[in-house]
Structure 1
Amino acid sequence: MRYYRTVGAGGPRLVARAGADAYDLTAVRPNVTAFEDLAYVANVSDRTVDEVASDLIDATETIAVPEETAVGVPTLVDEVWAAGVTYEISEQAREAESGMPEMYLDVYGAERPEVFFKATWDRVVGPGDAVGVRGDSEWNVPEPELGIVLYEGDIVGYTVGNDVSSRSIEGQNPLYLPQAKVYDRCCSLGPCVATPDAVGDPHDLTMTMTVERDGETVYEGETSTGEMVRTCEELVSYLRRHNTVPESAVLLTGTSLVPEEGFTLTPADEIHIDIENIGGLTNDVTTV
């Protein structure tokens, strides 16, 4: 199933979608307003999230399927982390921007992946909201990524993520990576959390991204998560090593859709990212 968090006059609601049908789970249990509420029950009862949701679906009726551009951040994530240099083209792009290119080649072929902190909840935006580019960066790019949704450190679903990055800052010196990655509106997630049964093989999903500017397409690309050199389980294992992962977390898995050198996001651009079996994430751009 896929789970959407809607926010309206009546407060947040959790909607489950199974195929062409959608169900308002909050109408059955008013205290179930977020994906984490289902994940908690699943965790303590040793069941899957979909099994818990099925109990509620049996007690409600179908509703209209939520518009993917009109829903909120699907998970009340405590922390967002990210992995880098997991695709060959990403390694090549990081080498091209850096004055120390050899370090990225070393990471791409190393046993230990690059894992870094990306965002707290208040730095994350959802579908239809604006992602940010730093006012002190001249080269800013979107990075479409498969996001692994974790609950108590276990994989419970997947989402679409945009790891917006300031490549001019990172390229000056690798030690500037936190400033290039962590700032207001630096990350978007959505439109839903899709459970493992809905996604299938996370290492065989088509991913596309387009960037529209003044009604014209200025970037368009397509790839597959099959190009990723590491598995989701491997990346999660390194995130959890000697590190207390909060109750709810998302780990972004890297990108292989890298706009050509010289491309930079500008305010009012519209970014659309789609990952097979999950959905589409759309955001415009603002300067922060």
Structure 2
Amino acid sequence: MKIARIGPAGREKPAIIDLEGQARDLSAVIEDWTAATLSAGLKRIGALDPRSLPVIEPPFRYGPPIANVGKMICIGLNYRAHAEEAGMALPPEPPFFLKATSAIIGPDDDVVLPRGAKKGDWEVELGVVIGRKASHVTEAEAMDHVAGYCIVNDVSERELQLERGTQWTKGKSCDTFGPTGPWIVTADDVGDPHDLRMTTAINGVTMQDARTDDMIFTIPQLIAEMSELFTLHPGDIISTGTPGGVGFGMTPPVYLKPGDEMHLRIEGLGEQRQRVVAHR
């Protein structure tokens, strides 16, 4: 099952994507896909025949697939190849940081570089969407708390992140730095989330091409570790780290500039396209 939100920014309507790839309007069934409605909404639509719902005719905009996200927790250096290109040792424990939820935008919305930005960068990541409250759960229990998966572009500004007090949240939380979607694919339709191909192309040139099996810390490990420290709530998103091939890891480094186009894909989860623009 694929769930989405469709429409202009701030006026999205809840939707489901049927087996033929058509978007179907869920407005008569639930008010919206939000952190508060996610669990109950998934149960309500489980018995629905999508063909009974109105088709949303294209063209249309995909918004973030869930509204009112409580928190987005990102994992640093969770791919072996990315740690190697960054010249950093493999971490003994998963490094967590928060991306401000105000950074979350639709999957194809413009990414705006902040004023004075010099080192914008891309990061394709597997997003894990929590479906059930998770507090002090074991690795064996962890996957029972996952609603589904989505694509996240953990856009970064490396100068803010690494040269201005090593504040990772600062360099990751600028407005528009969290394209998410186009939809959430429920866990039962994904198969093994640790064996998905993920790619990023910049201006048509492939920069990242890897599989999620290069993760250092698995999804159950991440959920168990986090839930020992803070409660995960429905709608929270864990962005599980990026593989090798980011701009700052290249020799010489390559950074985003206005006019660039990013194209991200994860096997079974769809794709994103963003245009990079300067702050006005």
TM-score, structure 2 length as denominator?
0.83
Separation in 2, partners of 1:165, 1:109:
20
Q: What are the equivalent positions in structure 2 for 1:12-31 lying under 5 Å apart?
A: 12-20=12-20, 22=22, 24-29=24-29, 31=30
Separation in 2, partners of 1:172, 1:254:
20
Separation in 2, partners of 1:209, 1:270:
10
Contact 2:16 2:50 (C-alpha < 8 Å) held by counterparts: no
Contact 1:25 1:60 (C-alpha < 8 Å) held by counterparts: no
Q: What are the equivalent positions in structure 2 for 1:1-288 lying under 5 Å apart?
A: 1-7=1-7, 11-20=11-20, 22=22, 24-29=24-29, 31-34=30-33, 36=35, 39-41=38-40, 49=42, 51-57=43-49, 60-61=52-53, 63=55, 70-76=61-67, 77-95=69-87, 104-105=88-89, 108-110=90-92, 112-120=93-101, 122-151=102-131, 152-153=133-134, 154-172=145-163, 175-212=166-203, 217-256=204-243, 257-259=245-247, 260-261=250-251, 262-288=253-279
After superposing on structure 2, the runs of 4+ consecutive aligned residues of structure 1 that deviate more than 4 Å are 8-11, 35-38, 64-67
Secondary structure (helix, strand or coil) at the match of 1:147 reads: strand
Superposition RMSD in Å: 2.7
Contact 1:28 1:60 (C-alpha < 8 Å) held by counterparts: no
Q: Which amino acid aligns with 2:4?
A: Y
Task: Report deviation, 1:61.
Answer: 4.1
Task: Report deviation, 1:164.
Answer: 0.8
Listed as ranges, the gaps of 5+ residues in structure 2 are 135-144
Q: Would you tell me which structure has more strand in proportion to its own residues?
A: 1
Task: Report deviation, 1:144.
Answer: 0.5
Q: Percentage identity across aligned positions?
A: 25
Task: Report deviation, 1:178.
Answer: 2.4
Q: 1:239 to 1:131 in 2, by over 3 A?
A: farther
Q: Would you tell me which structure has more helix in proportion to its own residues?
A: 1
Q: 1:37 to 1:23 in 2, by over 3 A?
A: farther
Q: Where does residue 46 of structure 1 map in the other structure? A: none
